[in-house]
Amino acid sequence: MTDRSLTDRSVKPNPGTPNPGRIQSKHIILTSHQNKGSSQVIPIQWGAADPRDRGPVIGSLHSARHRNVIGTHAGSYGVYRALAVASGVLDPSHKADLTNTSPIVHIGPHPSWADPSKIVSLDPFGAIASNAFGDHYPTDHEILPTIAITKAHIYIPELKTEIDQGRLQVDGKILKADGNLVVTKAAIDPVWYLPGIAKRLGIDEWDLRRVLFQQTGGMFPELVTRPDLHVFLPPIGGTTVYIVGDVDAITDPNKPVAVRVHDECNGSDVFGSDICTCRPYLVHGIEVCIQTAQAGGAGVIVYCRKEGRALGEVTKFLVYNARKRQEGGDRADAYFLRTECVAGVQDMRFQELMPDVLHWLGITRIDQLVSMSNMKYNAITHAGIEVVQRVAIPPELIPADAQVEIEAKKASGYYSENEVMTEEELAEIKGREY
């Protein structure tokens, strides 16, 4: 069944763009059911140790007959690609030229890559997809990387201050005299193996597929009509990994590893808001990573795009208003309550999926986990990764208006080296009006 209003239309090109005729399209192919070309779909054997046995992730729109996943590449940025095509600034037939884009350093393979229970939310072969699969499939099977690995110098003003204060030492290789930090970094797009996601969360796969379809407004019908497709490229933010020191030290049992898993907080991380501890704790994590790398080990910062505990920044700001305006002001004893009133839940980050990136790196032991979060600690240890020491944020780094947050989190079960306040004491911890 087709919709005449769709099939009879063509995209109106921008007259000022080159070759506008290329983007005209009057034919729409419904992808919700298997078609005549479905026999050409390469199955994905998730957890296979050899990439040739595992099979490639093919989500390119240029490979319609060969697509073996639900969704498309680039996560939420796929929508911007559609805008670029619709407005005529991007030729929809363009194919990526991946010359000289291969990883600057090699990560893996590690034993965890071949364990389908260890990694379910990213493609462990995502960084080497072109090399691992490119020679084995025709060019019309457009196989794109879902992980990119490069090197960079990053500058964080606080590091220069710590150098001047003697808390950090310049070595010229890892940390430069001007405060620049040399890192290896990896950008990771989400790739969900739906049977594994369902098992990890303790739910039925069909229920997962059905609710994903319903709660995204029916955006991906294949979730409920294509049970033969087990991999989903969700339109959500990805993860960035920053590695300080020698990448090989991460898997060397004789060398220390420090890790901070940090969930995005634009207000603090970028703009320095003092209502939370996010940026100062992130910077402290980087400091610990530098010291660990300089001691011969490696430091790892995992930065996850899960703004506002994955509730989003609009919800986050609504909660700020609710906290500040409630009777009695912004109080530690009501910290989580106001979030639940607005969002219906305290947290939607699903830390159960977070250890996948640690398994991708081959981490089996963390000597210093720079996190107070009980949810992150539990997820990491339940995933079979040993945590030797937990590192709390130093009290002097807690911003003026963040006492409400930190005391509320400690009372809820976050790791603390000090005594947890009583309910009565929490009620006395208050933030500014605004």
**Which positions are catalytic?**
347, 349
Q: Which of the 8 DSSP states describes residue 166?
A: T
- Which spans in 115-192 are helix H? 129-133, 157-164
By CB neighbour count within 10 A (0-12 exposed, 13-18 middle, 19+ buried), where does 425 fall? middle
Backbone angles phi, psi at 182, to 5 degrees: -90, 125
- Structure token pair of residue 296: 């011969």
User: Which tokens belong to 34?
Assistant: 């298997």
Structural contact between residues 262 and 301, judged by C-beta atoms closer than 8 angstroms: yes
Contact present, 154 and 181 (Cβ < 8 Å): yes
Nearest to 336 by CA among 311, 354, 355, 353: 311
Q: What residues contact residue 206 under an 8 Å CB cut-off, 6+ apart?
A: none
Question: Is 17 in contact with 85 (CB distance < 8 Å)?
Answer: no
Radius of gyration of the chain (CA): 24
Q: What share of the chain is helix, strand, coil (3-state, %, to 5)?
A: 35, 15, 50
Q: What is the distance, to the nearest Å, from the Cα of residue 381 to the centroid of all Cα atoms in its chain?
A: 19
- DSSP state, 121? S
Is residue 278 a contact partner of residue 268, using CB atoms and an 8 Å limit? Answer: yes
On whether the CB atoms of residues 357 and 122 are closer than 8 A, the answer is yes
Angle at which helix 205-215 crosses helix 194-201, to 10 degrees, equals 100
Residues 402 and 323: their CA atoms lie apart, in Å, by: 13
- In degrees and rounded to multiples of 5, residue 86 shows phi and psi of -60, -35
Lookup result for tokens 């009565």: 424
